[in-house]
């Protein structure tokens, strides 16, 4: 774990040159840990919590529970809690929530159960609102003498029915719910307004249910039966808010990051950050029961999104928005300006501005115009999420210096170590599966199937040569005018998607397969300048993706001579002509044979990067092979499948 005594301040986050390729194990969810600690403390008997995320916040909670007479033992990430069936001691001194919002909120009703005592916290916590909660406790008959910390409580809950404002912080609602089974008559809670952060209320109820509580939810009303909790062994999920940082790093830097232990069954709303933010911004996201994987290209589209129910991800959003190619905005998070460790709306805007990324505060969130940033030191407002989010900006383009890096200890003391591990495990060059071969050898079919099997992006480089050929034919450029054809290749923007090809905004998917393009493409592809331009853009494309399948004529010889795996597909001219004829519906097989043989001749005899078997390539003659067998054989050679 990072030794904060020797951590430089500011801490410089340097760009990562390669592409990410890591599987990360993250600390347990702080939100789940603090809920489970309260519930286990009120339960009858000994509970064991595994996968606990120990941090300043959870330690504040454990310390406070000890002060309330609940014995705990911590062993690595396992915490044993000796519940006393709802009995709590009056604390001998002030109960200290330190900087932890959940601890402060969850502990106040616990003090009411204990009967008396004073709740206090770190200075920053004293400015954070508690009023809706103190008011509700008073409504339940408790004597609560202040609306901000320190808060003396001198008598407990006697009633059952109360209403609470739901629009400031869901933590007030969760706080009442968690203690409610230990109230004399349980709780009948009416919610006034639409709750912010509904997933956190769902999370609270699900932890309560796991420990045997009966909770009834109906529109605007939650009822909890009295009767306490039963002790349990309970596994805490990794922290989904924390998971947003490495997952966003994959989208920003490019490459792959997998977070294990979090998946489609997660209790945490923030587990949807990847699918609701990173995917629409262009990353590929794979979620199963037990993992979330993001594969990014380093290229991010702008996004406007409402993060009202996952507001802790706002600083992560600020970082990805800073990297997007356009203007992004977040709405629905106005309430975090007063309830969190800092005003994360203003803080995000101020620090992005400092980095030279223009942004502005909106009525309910903020707007960011993505673009290059400059190296500077940014403030972190004693706010772990501001530090962790802003650090992501430094992972590409230019370093960023993080002031007070130690503040991450609040929830993730190992954060800087995790970034160092991502850096150490990054691959200096992309993983490339190169598939070369002549027309009709099965390249495209095999490349497409294998990209699905290996979950890798796929680039048909032939489509790029065809697109340039189409463009120059359209423009009437003479094919002997190499300078003009090269200039056309250089200025063109070509986007080859899974099922479309677009050049300079024009969809040419069908047009590039027409006979005039097919007849001219090998002449265009023989022009050295064209090859230089397209090969470089193919390298850039693959570098951004970290790992990819590229098919063409020169991938293993010229574009990526160090490719991870090289395949050369071949087949007899007769068979290749037959395949091509059946694809195009052309009936003149003899003419097809002649055309294919002529293209072979041009491609194999040109001066620059002719079609030939690359050094180290596996040659597969597909004349009489079935495609599935070829795909499986190649997939088995791929490193991540071994």
What single string gives the DSSP state of each residue in 563-582? -SEEEEEE--HHHHHHHHHH
Q: Which stretch binds ligand CDP (CB under 6 A): 26-34, 201-209, 275-283, 456-464?
A: 456-464
Block residue for tokens 């923007």: 493
- Looking at the Cβ atoms of 381 and 465, the one nearer to ligand CDP is 465
CA-CA distance, 282 to 200, in Å (whole number)? 27
556 forms part of the interface with ligand CDP (CB under 6 A)? no
362 is catalytic: no
416 and 2 Cβ atoms separated by less than 8 Å = yes
Q: Choose among 65, 31, 30: nearest CA to 201.
A: 31
- Looking at the Cβ atoms of 328 and 441, the one nearer to ligand CDP is 441
Q: Which stretch binds ligand CDP (CB under 6 A): 328-336, 364-372, 388-396, 459-467?
A: 459-467
Q: Which of 109, 462, 546, 556 binds ligand CDP (CB under 6 A)?
A: 462
Would strands 618-621 and 71-75 be described as parallel, antiparallel, or unpaired?
A: unpaired
With H, G, I as helix, E, B as strand and everything else as coil, classify residue 294: strand
579 forms part of the interface with ligand CDP (CB under 6 A)? no
- Looking at the Cβ atoms of 137 and 439, the one nearer to ligand CDP is 439
Interface positions, 33-72, toward ligand CDP (CB under 6 A): none
Cis peptide before 150 (omega within 30 of 0): yes
557 forms part of the interface with ligand CDP (CB under 6 A)? no
525 forms part of the interface with ligand CDP (CB under 6 A)? yes
Helix (H) or strand (E) holding 327: strand 327-331
Q: Which stretch binds ligand CDP (CB under 6 A): 11-19, 30-38, 155-163, 461-469?
A: 461-469
- Looking at the Cβ atoms of 86 and 462, the one nearer to ligand CDP is 462
284 forms part of the interface with ligand CDP (CB under 6 A)? no
Please give the residue whose beta carbon sits closest to ligand CDP in the complex.
Answer: 462
442 forms part of the interface with ligand CDP (CB under 6 A)? no
- CA 597 to chain CA centroid, Å, is 48
- Looking at the Cβ atoms of 2 and 444, the one nearer to ligand CDP is 444
CA-CA distance, 578 to 570, in Å (whole number)? 14
CA-CA distance, 636 to 629, in Å (whole number)? 11
CA-CA distance, 62 to 41, in Å (whole number)? 10
CA-CA distance, 326 to 305, in Å (whole number)? 14
Kindly state the tokens that stand for 274. 């990847």
Q: Which residues contact 218 (CB under 8 A, 6 or more apart)?
A: none
- Give me the least distance between CB of 513 and ligand CDP, in Å please: 8
- Give me the least distance between CB of 254 and ligand CDP, in Å please: 22
CA-CA distance, 355 to 392, in Å (whole number)? 13
Length of the chain: 642
What's the angle, vertex CA 426, arms to CA 421 and CA 429, rounded to 5? 165
- Looking at the Cβ atoms of 316 and 469, the one nearer to ligand CDP is 469
552 forms part of the interface with ligand CDP (CB under 6 A)? yes
393 and 353 Cβ atoms separated by less than 8 Å = no
Helix (H) or strand (E) holding 424: helix 415-425
607 and 425 Cβ atoms separated by less than 8 Å = no
Q: Which of 113, 386, 599, 620 binds ligand CDP (CB under 6 A)?
A: 599
Task: Tell me what percent of the chain is helix, strand and coil, each rounded to the nearest 5.
Answer: 45, 20, 35
Active-site option among 21, 239, 312, 404 = 312
458 forms part of the interface with ligand CDP (CB under 6 A)? no
- Looking at the Cβ atoms of 21 and 603, the one nearer to ligand CDP is 603
- CA 316 to chain CA centroid, Å, is 9
- Give me the least distance between CB of 527 and ligand CDP, in Å please: 10
- Give me the least distance between CB of 574 and ligand CDP, in Å please: 16
Report the Cα–Cα distance between both ends of the chain, in Å, rounded: 32
CA-CA distance, 251 to 320, in Å (whole number)? 8
Q: Which stretch binds ligand CDP (CB under 6 A): 84-92, 271-279, 406-414, 463-471?
A: 463-471
603 forms part of the interface with ligand CDP (CB under 6 A)? yes
> Per DSSP, which regions of 335-406 are E strands?
359-362, 365-369, 377-378, 400-402
CA-CA distance, 322 to 324, in Å (whole number)? 6
Q: Which stretch binds ligand CDP (CB under 6 A): 41-49, 270-278, 287-295, 521-529?
A: 521-529
Q: Which of 98, 170, 522, 557 binds ligand CDP (CB under 6 A)?
A: 522
Q: Which of 160, 323, 466, 544 binds ligand CDP (CB under 6 A)?
A: 466
Angle between helix 589-605 and 573-584 (nearest 10): 120
Interface positions, 170-199, toward ligand CDP (CB under 6 A): none
554 forms part of the interface with ligand CDP (CB under 6 A)? yes
Cα within 13 Å of Cα(239), Cβ side? 25
Interface positions, 320-339, toward ligand CDP (CB under 6 A): none
- Give me the least distance between CB of 554 and ligand CDP, in Å please: 5
- Give me the least distance between CB of 404 and ligand CDP, in Å please: 51
Q: Which of 241, 461, 537, 622 binds ligand CDP (CB under 6 A)?
A: 461
- Looking at the Cβ atoms of 35 and 545, the one nearer to ligand CDP is 545
With H, G, I as helix, E, B as strand and everything else as coil, classify residue 454: coil
Size of the site for ligand CDP (CB under 6 A): 16
570 forms part of the interface with ligand CDP (CB under 6 A)? no
Kindly state the tokens that stand for 145. 């003498």
- Looking at the Cβ atoms of 245 and 465, the one nearer to ligand CDP is 465
- Looking at the Cβ atoms of 295 and 599, the one nearer to ligand CDP is 599
- CA 39 to chain CA centroid, Å, is 30
Q: Which of 465, 541, 560, 568 binds ligand CDP (CB under 6 A)?
A: 465
Interface positions, 216-275, toward ligand CDP (CB under 6 A): none
Residues that bind ligand CDP (CB under 6 A): 439, 444, 461-463, 465-466, 521-522, 525, 552-555, 599, 603
Residues with catalytic roles: 312
């Amino acid at each position: 774990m990072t030794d904060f005594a020797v951590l430089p301040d500011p801490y410089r986050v340097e760009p990562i040159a390669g592409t990410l390729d890591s599987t990360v194990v993250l600390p347990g969810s702080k939100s789940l840990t603090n809920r489970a600690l309260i519930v286990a403390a009120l339960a009858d008997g000994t509970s064991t919590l595994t996968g606990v995320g120990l941090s300043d916040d959870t330690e504040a909670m454990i310390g406070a529970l000890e002060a309330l007479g609940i014995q705990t033992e911590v062993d690595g990430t396992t915490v044993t809690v000796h519940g006393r069936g709802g009995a709590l001691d009056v604390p001998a001194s002030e109960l200290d929530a330190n900087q932890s919002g959940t601890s402060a909120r969850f502990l106040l009703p616990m003090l009411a159960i204990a009967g008396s005592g004073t709740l206090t916290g770190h200075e920053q916590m004293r400015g954070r609102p508690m009023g809706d909660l103190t008011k509700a406790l008073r409504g339940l008959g408790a004597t609560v003498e202040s609306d901000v910390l320190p808060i003396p409580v001198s008598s407990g809950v006697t009633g059952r029915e109360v209403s609470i404002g739901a629009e400031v912080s869901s933590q007030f609602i969760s706080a009442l719910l968690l203690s409610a089974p230990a109230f004399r008559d349980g709780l009948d809670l009416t919610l006034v307004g639409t709750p912010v952060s509904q997933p956190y209320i769902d999370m609270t109820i699900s932890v309560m249910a796991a420990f045997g509580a009966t909770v009834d939810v109906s529109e605007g009303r939650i009822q909890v039966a009295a009767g306490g909790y039963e002790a349990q062994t309970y596994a805490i999920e990794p922290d989904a808010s924390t998971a947003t940082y490495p997952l966003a790093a994959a989208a920003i830097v490019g490459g792959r990051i997998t977070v294990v232990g979090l998946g489609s069954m997660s209790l945490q709303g923030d587990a949807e950050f990847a699918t609701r933010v990173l995917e629409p911004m262009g990353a590929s996201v794979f979620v199963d029961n037990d993992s979330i994987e993001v594969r990014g290209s380093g290229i991010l589209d702008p996004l406007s999104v409402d993060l009202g129910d996952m507001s802790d991800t706002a600083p992560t959003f600020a970082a990805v928005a800073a990297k997007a190619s356009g203007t992004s905005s977040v709405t629905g998070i106005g309430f975090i300006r007063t309830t969190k460790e800092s005003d994360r709306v203003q803080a995000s805007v101020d620090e992005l501005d400092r980095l030279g990324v223009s942004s502005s505060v909106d009525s309910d969130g903020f707007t960011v115009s993505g673009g290059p940033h400059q190296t500077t030191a940014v403030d972190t407002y004693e706010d772990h999420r501001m530090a962790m989010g802003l650090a992501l900006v430094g992972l590409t383009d230019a370093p960023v210096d993080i002031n007070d890096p130690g503040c991450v200890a609040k929830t993730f003391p190992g954060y800087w170590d995790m970034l160092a591990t991502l850096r150490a495990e990054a691959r200096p060059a992309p993983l490339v599966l190169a598939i070369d071969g002549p027309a009709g050898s099965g390249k495209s079919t095999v490349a497409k199937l294998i990209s699905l099997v290996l979950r890798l992006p796929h680039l048909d480089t032939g489509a790029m040569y065809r697109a340039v050929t189409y463009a120059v034919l359209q423009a009437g450029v003479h094919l002997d005018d190499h300078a003009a054809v090269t200039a056309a290749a250089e200025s063109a923007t070509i986007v080859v998607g899974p099922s479309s090809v677009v050049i300079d905004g024009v969809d040419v998917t069908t047009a590039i397969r027409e006979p005039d393009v097919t007849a001219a493409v090998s002449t265009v592809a023989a022009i050295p300048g064209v090859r230089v331009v397209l090969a470089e853009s193919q390298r850039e494309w693959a570098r951004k993706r970290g790992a990819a399948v590229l098919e063409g004529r020169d991938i293993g010889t010229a574009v990526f001579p160090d490719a991870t795996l090289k395949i050369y597909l071949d087949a007899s001219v007769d068979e290749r002509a037959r395949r091509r004829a059946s694809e195009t519906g052309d009936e003149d097989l003899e003419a097809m044979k002649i055309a294919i043989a002529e293209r072979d001749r041009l491609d194999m005899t040109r001066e620059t990067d002719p079609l030939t078997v690359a050094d180290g390539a596996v040659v597969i003659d597909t004349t009489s092979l079935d495609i599935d067998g070829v795909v499986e054989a190649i997939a088995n050679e791929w490193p991540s499948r071994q």
